[in-house]
C-alpha cells in the first residue's frame, strides 16, 4: 500500500482520526509556520483564519486541501493555484440548524430579557410571540437549510422555502429567489442559511426589509453579507424588525457597533458549527477522504478543482 501523508492543525484532531489504515502518516501543522514537508497528500487547515493560512500552501504539493467549514467564499482568492479544495459539508449542518432554532426561539420567547431580569433578581413575565403557527420564510435549501426545515417541522410553523432556483425537492416546493418580493410581506420570521458570495450579497437589503411586516424577525446563520447591515440597523432602530444573528458584516462586530445595544437584537459570535458535534464529524470526513484516496477514488465535497 502506498504511503499517505496527512497534516492536521491540532494534536486533538490527530488523536480523533485514530485508528487509521497502515501506511497513513499524520503530522501536526498549524500552518503558522512554513510547511514541514514539500509534499503533503491531504492538508487540513485550521478551522478559522483561512485568509491568513491558505497562502502558506504556496510551493507545497498537495492532492487535497480539506477545509473544516461549509462556507468557502473567498478561498479561491487566497488559495495558491494547483490545489484541490473540499469543504466540510456533512460536518456543521446539524449544529448550525440547532443554533438557528435556538436563536429563533430565544428571540420569540424573550429569553435575553429574562436573563437580564435574572441578573437583577426581577420576576418579569411577558406575553411572548410563539414559534408555532408563525409564517417562516427559509432562505436557502442546501445542507443547513434542509436541517433547519427538519427541525422546524415539529414546531407547527407555516414554512415557505426559497433557494436560487425554483424546484420540487424531496416533496418540498422550493421557490426561486426572484419570488422574494412577493413572499416577504407575509413572512413573520426569515431564516437565512444561504452561502456567501456576490450572488447572495445583500439579498436582504433595505427594499427587502421594507417589505417585511412590522415586528418580523430576521435570523441569519448563513453569512454576514447576506444582510445589508446599515439597512438592518435602520429598521431595528425604528422598531420595524428584530434580529437574531450568528453572523454579521463586519465580523467580528466592532465593540462600538449599534447592533450590540439596539433593543430587539440577539447576537452570537459565529458559533453555529462550534459544538461538540464538530469533532467526531470532521474526523469522520477526513477518514473518509483518506480511505477514498487509498482506494483511488475521488474525494468528496470538492468545491474548487485545481486551477
Q: How far apart are the C-alpha atoms of 167 and 205, rounded to whole Å?
A: 25
Quick check: 223 and 247 in contact, CB under 8 A? yes
Quick check: 245 and 266 in contact, CB under 8 A? yes
CA-nearest of 144, 45, 136 to 92 is 144
Cis peptide upstream of residue 250 (ω within 30 degrees of 0): yes
Active site residue 270: yes
Catalytic residue selected from 134, 175, 235, 270: 270
CA neighbours closer than 13 Å in the CB half-sphere of residue 262 = 23
Catalytic residue selected from 156, 251, 291, 297: 251
Catalytic residue selected from 223, 235, 242, 287: 223
Active site residue 223: yes
Q: How far apart are the C-alpha atoms of 281 and 274, rounded to whole Å?
A: 12
Q: To 10 degrees, what angle do helices 143-152 and 93-108 make?
A: 50
What would the DSSP string read from start to end of 103-137? HHHHHHTTHHHHHHHHHTT------PPPSTT-EEE
Q: Mapping DSSP to helix (H, G, I), strand (E, B) and coil, where does residue 190 land?
A: strand
Within the chain, residue ranges assigned H as helices are 11-16, 50-53, 75-78, 93-108, 111-119, 143-152, 180-183, 206-211, 229-237, 278-294
Positive or negative torsion for Cα 274, 272, 75, 146: positive
Cell of 108: 420569540
**Catalytic annotation, residues:** 223, 251, 270
Amino acid at each position: 500500500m502506498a504511503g499517505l501523508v496527512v497534516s492536521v492543525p491540532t494534536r486533538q484532531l490527530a488523536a480523533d482520526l485514530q485508528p487509521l489504515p497502515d501506511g497513513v502518516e499524520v503530522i501536526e501543522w498549524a500552518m503558522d509556520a512554513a510547511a514541514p514537508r514539500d509534499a503533503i497528500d491531504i492538508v487540513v487547515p485550521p478551522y478559522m483564519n483561512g485568509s491568513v493560512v491558505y497562502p502558506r500552501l504556496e510551493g507545497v504539493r498537495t492532492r487535497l486541501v480539506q477545509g473544516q467549514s461549509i462556507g468557502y467564499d473567498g478561498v479561491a482568492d487566497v488559495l495558491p493555484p494547483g490545489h484541490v479544495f473540499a469543504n466540510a459539508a456533512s460536518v456543521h449542518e446539524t449544529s448550525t440548524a440547532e443554533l438557528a432554532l435556538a436563536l429563533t426561539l430565544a428571540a420569540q420567547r424573550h429569553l435575553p430579557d429574562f436573563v437580564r431580569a435574572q441578573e437583577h433578581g426581577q420576576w418579569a413575565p411577558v406575553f411572548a410571540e410563539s414559534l408555532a403557527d408563525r409564517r417562516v420564510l427559509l432562505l436557502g435549501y442546501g445542507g443547513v437549510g434542509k436541517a433547519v426545515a427538519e427541525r422546524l417541522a415539529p414546531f407547527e410553523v407555516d414554512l415557505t422555502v426559497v433557494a436560487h432556483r425554483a424546484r420540487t425537492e424531496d416533496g418540498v416546493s422550493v421557490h426561486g429567489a426572484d419570488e422574494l418580493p412577493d413572499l416577504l410581506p407575509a413572512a413573520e420570521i426569515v431564516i437565512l442559511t444561504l452561502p456567501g458570495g456576490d450572488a447572495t450579497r445583500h439579498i436582504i437589503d433595505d427594499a427587502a426589509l421594507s417589505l417585511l411586516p412590522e415586528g418580523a424577525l430576521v435570523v441569519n446563520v448563513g453569512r454576514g453579507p447576506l444582510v445589508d447591515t446599515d439597512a438592518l440597523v435602520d429598521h431595528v432602530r425604528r422598531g420595524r424588525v428584530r434580529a437574531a444573528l450568528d453572523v454579521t458584516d463586519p465580523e467580528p462586530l466592532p465593540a462600538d457597533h449599534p447592533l450590540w445595544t439596539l433593543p430587539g437584537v440577539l447576537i452570537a459570535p459565529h458559533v453555529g458549527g462550534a459544538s461538540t458535534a464538530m469533532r467526531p464529524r470532521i474526523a469522520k470526513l477526513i477518514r473518509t477522504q483518506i480511505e477514498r484516496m487509498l482506494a483511488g477514488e475521488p474525494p468528496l465535497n470538492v468545491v474548487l478543482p485545481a486551477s
